[in-house]
């Protein structure tokens, strides 16, 4: 199983980014998916999750209203659109595949993880 994130970079506060996660080696449409992030000196935290078919999503409060998680099961790809970025969004962003069709916020339910993509937001 491989999860490969892309789309990170250095942006200014207020800008937007779309992260992508290309999945291979698994039957993508049978996994719930999630995004997590880890800021310097902090523990990895939940950002957003999406059900296997894309109909159910959840977000951490700090990104709610500014971010949209989506998936394209025909392309085996997960996305995270982030708008109105803030310096506190600076982190390494990871995608992960959950054994639950409607995944939650707990990291222990996620079976596979990508290597991460760096997002840096300057003020």
Determine the pLDDT at residue 2: 98
Determine the pLDDT at residue 114: 98
Determine the pLDDT at residue 53: 95
Nearest to 93 by CA among 62, 58, 118, 65: 118
Determine the pLDDT at residue 104: 92
Determine the pLDDT at residue 30: 96
Determine the pLDDT at residue 105: 94
Cβ-based neighbour number of residue 42 at 10 Å: 9
Residue ranges in the chain whose pLDDT is less than 50: none
The long-range contacts involving 7-11, CB below 8 angstroms and separated by at least 24 positions, are 7/117, 8/93, 8/117, 8/118, 8/119, 8/120, 9/118, 9/119, 9/120, 10/120, 10/122, 11/85, 11/119, 11/120, 11/121, 11/122
């Amino acid at each position: 199983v491989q999860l490969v994130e892309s789309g990170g970079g250095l942006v200014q506060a207020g800008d937007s980014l779309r992260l992508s996660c290309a999945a291979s080696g698994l039957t993508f449409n049978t996994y719930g998916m999630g995004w997590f992030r880890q800021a310097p000196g902090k523990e990895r935290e939940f950002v957003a999750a999406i059900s296997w078919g894309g109909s159910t999503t959840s977000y951490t409060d700090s990104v709610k209203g500014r971010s949209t998680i989506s998936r394209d099961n025909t392309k085996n790809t997960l996305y995270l659109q982030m708008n109105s970025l803030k310096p506190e969004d600076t982190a390494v962003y990871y995608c992960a595949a959950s054994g639950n069709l409607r995944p939650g916020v707990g990291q222990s339910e996620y079976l596979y993880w990508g290597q991460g993509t760096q997002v840096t937001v300057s003020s």
